Amino acid sequence: MPLTVVIGLTIAAAVPLVVLYVIHRLDLYGMGAFRTVLLCFAWGGAAFALAFGLNNATLHFGLVSYDNFKRFSAPIIEEILKSLILIYLVRRPNFTYFVDGAIYGFASGVGFAIFENYFYIFSNPGNSLGLAAGRVLSTNLMHATGSALVGIALGLARFKMGGARLLWMLGGYALAMPLHVGFNNLVTRDVGSLLLVYAAGVGFGGTGLIAAAMRRGLKEEKGWIEEKLGAADRVTSGEAAVVQHLQKVADLLAPIKQKFGAAKAGEVEKFLTVQARLGILRKTLDKLANDPKMAQAVSAQMEDLRRQMEASRRAVGAYCMLYVRNIFPPDSSPLWGRLESVIQERAAVRPAAGGPNLWAALQDRAAQAGAGAPEEPSTP
């Protein structure tokens, strides 16, 4: 195989995958499961194979002219096929919000684009480098943006009922299909630099739009965590305050890494991320009040997360966990005050019922140490 073809194939796969990785990393709370991302990527490849067969059949039986096929039929068929995996996933409990829809849709579009890249490169090996470079900057991002728009719409439709849900779903296609149709119409015409401008605008502008939508969704999810994460899930006020600052995870983990080591810092990050997911799912459960079947599935997922959280808490250890709970002062989050009141009320009852409150004593001791106050001598 010529070296230029090998380089072209590498570019055609590597660049879209790097962009997908960057988009996936924007999911701060890790709600978009990596295995599901891989599933969507694989489906994108399958969707290309299905589209190839269906497009050929459409031409073979003369259902449309070749010109209309390229300009209208192919874009519509491809957008529908890429999104079929999203229609399935939207009824699964791990499809939480439109942030997940954006990631899963982007992955499906990237999978489709890479297989399409390979088809064109093998069909025209003499221009493999030009094809690869041109497609990764235009067509690839257009495919990913189109299916991500559908994924966002499905994520927003998830909490709607009846006609409103259908309208949101159709709205995603109403954005993705014209985007694709417009691109193909320019490709079929000799418009020179206009095609390059449009391609770059769709590719980079669309990717930027998806990233901005994800950041907006993450901001909403952070509000959900603030509202819902608390004592019902055995999350202390100190832990909840730290979870609220997960966007600064590197800063959070730096002192833990220095004091306890990299492995322990990794366990802490896992623990905090599981807590964040739990808060998001608790809000999701509220939004699914009119959908008992989905609510039951989300409840089962929450129970699994609670087990993971307890296992992570044990892995972190009592001493390190005490350090984590006191990273931020009590006034760093409104949630702290609400949960602290509940904890204090329970603490006031426990001594009379069953002896000294060891956890309250540890919290007081940590607060004294943090303020530089001398510790009282311990008694045997």
Residue 4: C-alpha distances to residues 8, 116, 128, 211 (Å): 6, 18, 7, 33
> Does residue 335 lie in a domain region?
yes
Residue 362 lies in a domain: no
In terms of pLDDT, which residue wins out, 143 or 219? 143
CB 70 within 8 A of CB 184: yes
* 373's tokens: 């106050």
Angle between helices 262-287 and 206-228 (to 10 degrees): 90
In angstroms, the CA 47 to CA 181 distance is: 18
Mean pLDDT of 271-277: 82
Asked whether residue 38 is domain-assigned, the answer is: yes
276 and 135 within one domain: no
Q: Using one digit for the tens of pLDDT, what is the confidence trace for 171-192?
A: 999 999 998 998 888 777 765 6
Side-chain-side CA neighbours of 85 within 13 Å: the count stands at 29
- In this predicted structure, the answer to whether residue 78 has a pLDDT above a threshold of 90 is yes
Least confident of 164-168, 263-267, 373-377: 373-377
Instruction: Fill in the DSSP letter of residue 332.
Output: G
Q: Please give the pLDDT value at position 275.
A: 82
Q: What is the pLDDT of residue 237?
A: 54
Whether residues 164 and 19 share a domain: the answer is yes
Boundaries of domain holding 160: 3-217
- The conformation of residue 288, written as its DSSP 8-state character, comes to T
Q: How far apart are the first and last CA of the chain?
A: 78
372, part of any domain:
no
Average pLDDT estimate for 4-22 = 90
The full DSSP string for 34-97 is: HHHHHHHHHHHHHHHHHHHHHHHHHHHTTSS-HHHIIIIIHHHHHHHHHHHHHHHHTTSTT--S
The verdict on 164 and 43 lying in the same domain is yes
What residues have CB less than 8 Å from 369, skipping those under 6 apart?
Answer: 375
Mark whether 28 and 165 lie in a shared domain. yes
- Asked which of 217, 248, 272 is the last residue of a domain, the reply is 217
Q: Mark which of 170, 188, 217 sits at the end of a domain.
A: 217
Residues 186 and 264 in one domain: no
Residue 207 makes CB contacts below 8 A (sequence gap 6+) with: 19, 23, 141, 144, 145
Mean pLDDT in the chain?
Answer: 79
Which has the minimum average pLDDT: 144-158, 164-178, 306-320? 306-320
Report which secondary-structure segment, H or E, holds 120. Answer: helix 98-123
d(CA 258, CA 246): 18
Pairwise pLDDT comparison (58 vs 93), residue with the higher score = 58
Decide if 44 contacts 109 (C-beta within 8 A): yes
Q: Which of 242, 16, 1, 219 is nearest to 109 (CA)?
A: 16
The band of 201, judged by pLDDT with boundaries at 50, 70 and 90, is: confident
In a domain, 373, yes or no: no
Same-domain check for residues 182 and 43: yes
Residue 9 lies inside a defined structural domain of this protein: yes
- Domain tally for the chain? 2
Asked if residue 130 and residue 75 are part of one domain, the reply reads yes
Q: 378 lies in a domain?
A: no
Which residue in this structure is represented by tokens 């927003």?
Answer: 156
More confident residue, 138 or 311: 311
Domain co-membership, 252 together with 317 = yes
* Residue 351, burial from CB neighbour count under 10 angstroms (0-12, 13-18, 19+): exposed
> Do residues 329 and 207 share a domain?
no
Q: Is 252:245 a contact under the CB 8 Å cutoff?
A: yes
> Does one domain contain both 138 and 114?
yes
Q: Look at residue 222 and tell me if it is in a domain.
A: no
Residues 213, 237, single domain; the answer is no
Q: Both 233 and 284 in a single domain?
A: yes
Which of 151, 182, 217 delimits the end of a domain?
217
